[in-house]
Amino acid sequence: MKLKPYSLGALLLTLLAPVALSPVPALAAQPAVPAPPQHTADAISRFLADFYGQHGPSHQDRESRVSQVLKDRQKETPEVDVLLCAQNEPQDIGVGPVTVAQSAAVGWATVTTHWESGHTDTFTAYVRLDSEPIRLDDVICAG
């Protein structure tokens, strides 16, 4: 018996059809993992204003509202307050407008410290947008 060229292809399709057409077991539905919160510029602004207050963060805020990186940095340099970029308590503190970079998942603001001498200093305070609860992630001192 001689096979026609197309009959070999038909034979293969017939043999493979049950495998190719067999139902695939349905994957169990996975519950959606909620995305972490994304803090807004307003939320970061309120946080920083509350955190720094008029004279600097409280002891409790230093313990519970600061990243481990900043806590470790403070231990390494006890002669300087790394959260204020200073050695003393300022007379007043002001928080500037907050910038949010969604692609970097961070928000920041310039913080200005006012001193009794009339001198001012600035530094930049950073907050991760997905931190839960919201906390100060880093501080970069100017100059």
> In this structure, what token pair is assigned to residue 24?
């695939």
Strand partners, 126: 108, 138
Q: What percent of the chain has pLDDT over 90?
A: 73
41-141 is classed in which CATH architecture? Roll (3.10)
Residue ranges covered by each domain of the chain: 41-141
pTM: 0.75
Answer for the pair 109, 97: CB distance below 8 angstroms, yes or no.
Answer: yes
How far apart CA 109 and CA 95 sit, in angstroms, is: 7
Per-residue pLDDT of 36-57, as tens digits, reads: 679 999 999 999 999 999 999 9
Query: To which H or E segment does residue 110 belong?
Result: strand 106-114
d(CA 130, CA 139): 17
Model confidence at 69, in pLDDT bands (50, 70, 90)?
very high
Cα separation, 129 vs 108, whole angstroms: 10
What DSSP string describes 113-143? EE-TTS-EEEEEEEEETT-SS--EEEEEE--
Element (DSSP H or E) covering residue 99: strand 92-101
